[in-house]
Structure 1
Amino acid sequence: MPRIVAGWAGSLQLAVPPDGTRPTSDRTREALFSMLEARDAVDGAAVLDLYAGSGALGLESLSRGAASAVLVERAPRAARVIRENVARLRRAAPAPLDVRVAQQAARAFLAAPGGAFDLVLSDPPYDLAEADVAADLVALLPHLTAEPLVLLERSVRSPAPVLPDGLVLERTRTYGDTAVHLLVRG
C-alpha cells in the first residue's frame, strides 16, 4: 500500500483502487516532491490532481503544505477510494483541509469554468492516446495561474508530449518506467 511520504501526515497508509490504476511509487513521489519543494512550488499552492487514481499525489501535496487540492477521477471505484483516503487525511490533519473530489472525466472537469491552479499533477493512464493528452493540456490552460508548474507523468516509451502554445517543456526526469515532464508557461 502506498503511504504519504512526508509532511504532517507522513507514513499515513493510503488505500488503492482494486484495479484500473497505476499508483505513483513512494520513491517516485518522494523524488517529485523534493524537486517541487526545492522550487517552493508546494507550500500554499492550489493543486489540481488530474487522473487522481488513489489521490496519493494530491494528498501528498496537502501533507506538505498545499493550501488546497482538487482531485479529479472519473472511475467510480477509484473516486470512492479517494474519498476514503481524504477522510483518513482529514482525521490526521492538524487543521481543516480544503480538498474536493470531482468524480468526472478530466476533460469534462476542464471544460467547466473556474479554478486557478499553481501546481498540476497529471498522471493519465499510459494507454491514453497522445492526442487526448494534448487536448487535455489545451483545456488546462485557462485553469492555470500566471506561473504554474505542470507535472505530466507518462511511460518512458511514450513520445514527448505535444504541447499547446503557452506551455513549454522545462525538463524531463525518468524514474524506472515513468517519465515525468515538467511544464511551465512559455
Structure 2
Amino acid sequence: MRIIAGEYRGTALATVGRGDTAAHLRPTTDRVRESLFSVLTHHDVIAGARVLDVFAGTGALGLEALSRGATRAAFVDDGRVAQGLIRQNIAKLRVQDRTETIRRNALHLPARDGMPFDLVFVDPPYGKGFGAKALAVLETGGWLSPEAFIVWEEAQEMPAPSGFEVVDRRRYGDTHITLLSKTTP
C-alpha cells in the first residue's frame, strides 16, 4: 500500500498483508483508492477539506486526502492494531501537526467539541449495518459540516440514510462506494 498522488506520492504505508480479519482490517486497495480519488477530484471536495476517516484501519484514505490538498485529518478507530498502523503511517508522512487520532467506537462517539468535517470516509466492517449507524451518530453529534461529502464503502450498494442523498455510486469488484451529501432541510 502506498500514497497514490500528491505531496506524499509513492510513500509506502505500513502493511497488514491481506488484512487482519480478527481486527476487521481490510485495506482499500491502491487501485480502488486511485479510482475513488479521481472521482473525488472531479467533485472538487478535497482541496482545503477537513477530513474524517471513520473505521480508519490504516488511515490510508485520510492520508491520501492530506497528500492531495486536504488541510487536516482525524482518524476514528477503536482497534489496537489499527491505532498502531495509523500512528506509524502518520509518522512516515510526518503529518502529526495536521492529524488527530480518536480511539473510540464510531457508533458511540460523543458530541463533537471542535470544527466539523467536510469530507468523511466511512469504511465499516462489511455487512454489519455499522455504516448507517455511524452516519447517524456523526450527524446528531455535530461531526458533519453543512456541506459534508460522504464516501461510504461497503460490500453492496447502500441506500441513502435519512438526511442524506446519493451523489454517485461506484463499484470496484466486490467493493461498492456510495457518495452522499447532506440534504438541505
Tell me the TM-score normalised to structure 2 length.
0.88
1:12 aligns to what? Answer: 11
Mapped contact 1:16–1:53 kept (Cα < 8 A): no
Structure 1 ranges of 4+ moved more than 6 A: none
1:170 aligns with 2:170: no
Counterparts of 1:52 and 1:46, CA distance in 2: 15
Give runs of aligned pairs for residues 128-139 of structure 1, distance below 5 A: 129-130=128-129, 132-139=130-137
Q: Which residue of 2 aligns with 1:48?
A: 52
Match of 1:124?
Answer: 124
Q: Once the 2 structures are TM-superposed, how far is the Cα of residue 134 of structure 1 from its aligned partner? A: 1.9
**What is the total number of aligned residue pairs between the two structures?**
175
Q: Which residue of 2 aligns with 1:59?
A: 63
Contact between 1:72 and 1:103, CA under 8 Å: does it hold in 2?
A: yes
Structure 1: tracts of 5 or more residues without a match = none
Are the equivalent residues in 2 in contact too, given 1:42–1:66 (CA < 8 A)?
yes
- Confirm or deny that 1:29 pairs with 2:33: yes
Deviation of 1:66 (Å): 0.4
Q: What is the distance in 1 between the residues matched to 2:74 and 2:15?
A: 18
For 1:134 and 1:32, the matched residues in 2 are separated by: 20
* 1:27-60 superposed Cα distances (whole Å, 9 cap, x missing partner): 1101111111112110100000000011100100
Distance in 2 separating the partners of 1:134 and 1:6: 30
Q: Counterparts of 2:35 and 2:112 in 1: how far apart (Å)?
A: 32
For the residues of structure 2 that align with 1:133 and 1:71, how far apart are their CA atoms?
15
Distance 1:134 1:73 in 2: 16
Equivalent position amino acid for 2:136 in 1: V
Going from structure 1 to structure 2, the CA distance change for 1:24 and 1:134 (only over 3 Å counts) comes to same
> Higher mean Cα deviation, 133-142 or 168-177?
133-142
Q: Contact conserved, 2:167 with 2:181, CA < 8 A, in 1?
A: yes
Task: Say if 1:48 and 1:120, in contact at 8 Å, map to a contact too.
Answer: yes
CA distance in 2, matches of 1:97, 1:185: 29
Partners of 2:160 and 2:166 within 8 A in 1? no
Give CA-to-partner distance per residue, 1:63-117, whole Å, 9 cap, x none.
1110100011111111011101100011xx6xx74101111211233x2323411
TM-score, with normalisation over the residues of structure 1?
0.88
* Aligned-CA RMSD value: 1.6
What is the CA distance between 1:162 and its match in structure 2? 5.3
Percent identity, please: 41
